[in-house]
Each structure stands twice: as C-alpha cells, then as structure tokens.
Amino acid sequence: MRATLKKIHPINFVFLTVAGIVNACAVTLFLQAANLYDGGFSGTSMLLARITPLNISIFLLVLNFPLFLLGYKKLGLNFILYSLYAIAVFSLFSFLFESAFGIDFSNGSPITGKDMLLSAIFGGIISGIGSGLTIRFGGAIDGVEVLAVIFAKKIGMTVGTFVMSFNIILYIIAGAITKSWEAPLYSVIAYAVGLKSVDFIIEGFDKSKSAYIISNHPEKIADTIVEIFERGVTIINAEGYYSKKPKKIIYCVVNRFEVNKMKSIVTTIDPNAFVAITDVSDSMGSSLKFRRRKKKKLAVQPIVTERELNTLPEETLAELNSTVKAHEEQVLNASVLNELTTPSSVETENLLKSECDQQQAKPSTAETEDEIKDLQLEEISAAQSEEPAEESQEEKE
C-alpha cells in the first residue's frame, strides 16, 4: 500500500484538475446547453438531469464512484485515485458552471447559441481534450471504461466495442424518451469528434508511421535513412515467394512529417522498390521528433550507492573490499611490468645515438667498393711487373 502511494506523482493532480475543468466546460457550456448528449456516464447523467429535477453533478458522482471502487483490484490504486479526483473536479465545476457562476442559458449555449452543429463540434473537441488529458496522466473521467474492463471479456466483446454499444443504446433511449431524434444524431457527431480529439491528445500530433521497404539496394537505402534522419533501422532477412531468392526488408519508424522525404529517398535509390506504410499507435526506445536528436553524454552511475553500502552485511562488505584490493593489485602490477619492459625516454635517446654513431663509424658501401677496386688494380700491376723480370732471367740463362 505504501509502496503504491509512493508512485503517485503530485504534478498529475494539477493536470487532472485542468482536465476536469475542461470537461465540465464542454458538457455544461456546449453540449447540455444545446440539449445534446455526451458519451458514457456523462451522457447518462445529462439525460437523467433532463428528466429529473436533480443536478448533473449528483449523477456524475453516483454513477461513477461505485464502479471505480468496484474495479480497484483490476485497475490498481493509483488509477482509482487519479480517476476519482478527476471526476470530483468534473462534478464540482459542472455544478459551478450551471448554478454558481450566474451564466445565462436561456438562449442555449452562452458561446454558440442555439446552433446545434457548432455546439456538437466544439463540445466534442473540448470534451475529448479533457478526457485525453485524464487518460494521459493516469486516470479516466468516465466509468463506462471501467465497466467495459470488468464485463467486456465475460460477454465476448472488446473494450472499444462495449463502449460504442453503450453509447448507441444511450442515444436510442434518449431519442425514445424525448421523442426527438435531432439531438441524438448531433450527439453522434460530438462523440465522433471527441474520439478523434482524444487520439490527438494521447498520441500527439506528431504521429508515428512504420515503413517496410523491399529493395535490391537495402544497404544503400538504410545508410541514407540513418544519415538523414539520424535514426536506426532494422534489416530483416526474407525470401521471395515466386523467385525463391533471398531478400532483405528494411523496417524503420518515422513521424508523419518525414514520410514524403523517406519515399523520395527510396524512389531515388531504387525506383522499383516496394514500400508499405502503416500507423503506429505508440512507440518506445527512440526519439521520433522531426527535429534532430542531440547526443547526450552519459554520466557513469555507481553500481552500488552509498546508502546501499551502509545496509549491506559485514561479510558482503569484506568480500567487496577484498575484490577491490585484488583488482587494484593487478592494475599496479601491470603498470609496473609495463614500466620495466618499456624503455624510458632517456634510454631510447641513448640507444638511438649509439646506433647513429655505429652507422657513422661504418664505411659506406661506395667507399668499400672503391677500395676493393684499387687493391685489385695494384695486384694486377704487381703481377704484370713480375712477368717481364722472369722473362729476362730466362733469356740470360
């Protein structure tokens, strides 16, 4: 319980307060003022407030609170606290907008008047913003989602199908009770616009796209995408069904602003490449903003903090200290060995000087060749001088 409460972020309550006020503004100033209906328990509360003398804020609390408490085990304490807080703010400001602030609703909406289309469009947009903010910061502002999570699987439906079915039944009942189908039909427009608005708030305007590229030049395309977008790609080994030849598929995720640029890169390198692009509802692990990512220097974090060291037993600390000392001794021995085996700068200078002196003392090859030639010439001349002397002695004899 305490560990769960520690995970609650106080800043989330600030945004949940804004979400509750925004949702109350959409419901009271646009939808309810134009006799339209919101989706879920919010629309149910609007219908009940129309056929009873009670205020909409009472029905919001009565319908939502029990269901969120019922879904505590499946949804967790943090989600329940965030959701109940957002609903409480939504109910409070619905009451204030309707009764305490002195706003005139005699001519319909104080902003769009009796124009039901404008009320449906802008009421849906603003309501979607409030709901999207609530979901983004860890909660839900309508109990129908909780009802769907609890009962959808039991009746063989998805959560989205369950919520859509609930809203369709609500609009049909509202038209049957009021004997007017104009307001329920405009409410469908408000609901559809609200869904799109929720998607934009949760996923952002910079929605991601995934691309599968099959080309005969995968390496060149991958290198160009990495260089231009500064983002990693994945190459998947595959095989052509008809050709039975090995192929490589490039998989990458880009934002919607980069799709056309990626297409031009692919077609420039390989006009015959096949490209399939799909939507990505969410992604983690890399920045998908269209601005270039800045490289951050990673700070080295200690494996064991000082607080954790104080909590370790003495035996573990002794083992750690012995391991650290052994590592330090290894490093010291390696450094000493390196110093012993590596000659110093003075020694290297002396060694170089001695080698130079030896080279200077040795005669060059040219000099030695000249000396050999001179000796050979002297030997030849000596031999020639000895031959005539021998001939004269023979003549005398």
In angstroms, the CA 48 to CA 90 distance is 17
The long-range contacts involving 79-84, CB below 8 angstroms and separated by at least 24 positions, are 79/138, 79/139, 79/140, 81/8, 81/139, 82/8, 82/12, 82/13, 82/16, 82/134, 82/137, 82/138, 82/139, 83/134, 83/139, 83/140, 83/141, 83/146
Whether residue 9 sits in one domain with residue 142:
yes
> For the chain, how many residues are written?
397
Whether residue 213 sits in one domain with residue 174:
no
pLDDT in tens, the chain (397 residues): 565 566 788 899 999 999 999 999 999 999 999 999 999 999 999 999 999 988 999 999 999 888 888 877 777 888 888 999 999 999 999 999 988 888 888 888 999 998 999 999 999 999 999 999 998 888 888 888 788 877 776 787 777 788 889 999 999 999 999 898 999 999 999 999 998 898 888 776 667 889 999 999 999 999 999 999 888 899 999 998 998 899 999 999 988 878 999 999 999 999 999 999 998 877 776 554 444 444 444 444 455 555 555 555 666 667 767 776 776 666 666 555 555 444 444 554 555 556 555 555 555 444 455 565 566 666 666 655 555 444 444 444 4
Q: What is the pLDDT of residue 69?
A: 82
- Asked whether residue 325 is assigned to any structural domain, the reply reads no
Whether residue 243 sits in one domain with residue 127:
no
Which CATH number goes with the domain that contains 243?
Answer: 3.30.70.120
- Asked whether residue 374 is assigned to any structural domain, the reply reads no
Whether residue 187 sits in one domain with residue 62:
yes
- Give the tokens for residue 255: 């934002």
**What domain count does the chain have?**
2
User: Considering 173, 203, 233, which residue would you say is the last residue of a domain?
Assistant: 203
Q: What is the pTM of this model?
A: 0.61
DSSP symbol at 301: P
Whether residue 16 sits in one domain with residue 38:
yes
Whether residue 211 sits in one domain with residue 122:
no
Whether residue 10 sits in one domain with residue 115:
yes
- Give the tokens for residue 244: 């039975």
End-to-end CA distance of the chain: 140
Whether residue 191 sits in one domain with residue 213:
no
Q: Max CA-CA distance within the chain?
A: 170
- Asked whether residue 319 is assigned to any structural domain, the reply reads no
- Asked whether residue 351 is assigned to any structural domain, the reply reads no
- Residue 79 φ then ψ, to 5°: -60, -40
- Asked whether residue 16 is assigned to any structural domain, the reply reads yes
Whether residue 275 sits in one domain with residue 263:
yes
- Give the tokens for residue 356: 């130079």
- Asked whether residue 391 is assigned to any structural domain, the reply reads no
Whether residue 243 sits in one domain with residue 152:
no
- Asked whether residue 225 is assigned to any structural domain, the reply reads yes
Whether residue 231 sits in one domain with residue 132:
no
In angstroms, the CA 197 to CA 134 distance is 13
Whether residue 68 sits in one domain with residue 199:
yes
- What are the distances in angstroms from CA 223 to CA 230, 252, 263? 10, 12, 15
User: Considering 314, 331, 352, which residue would you say is the last residue of a domain?
Assistant: 314
- Asked whether residue 113 is assigned to any structural domain, the reply reads yes
By residue range, what is the domain housing residue 123? 2-203
Q: What is the pLDDT of residue 282?
A: 72
Q: What is the pLDDT of residue 295?
A: 43
User: Considering 203, 218, 236, which residue would you say is the last residue of a domain?
Assistant: 203
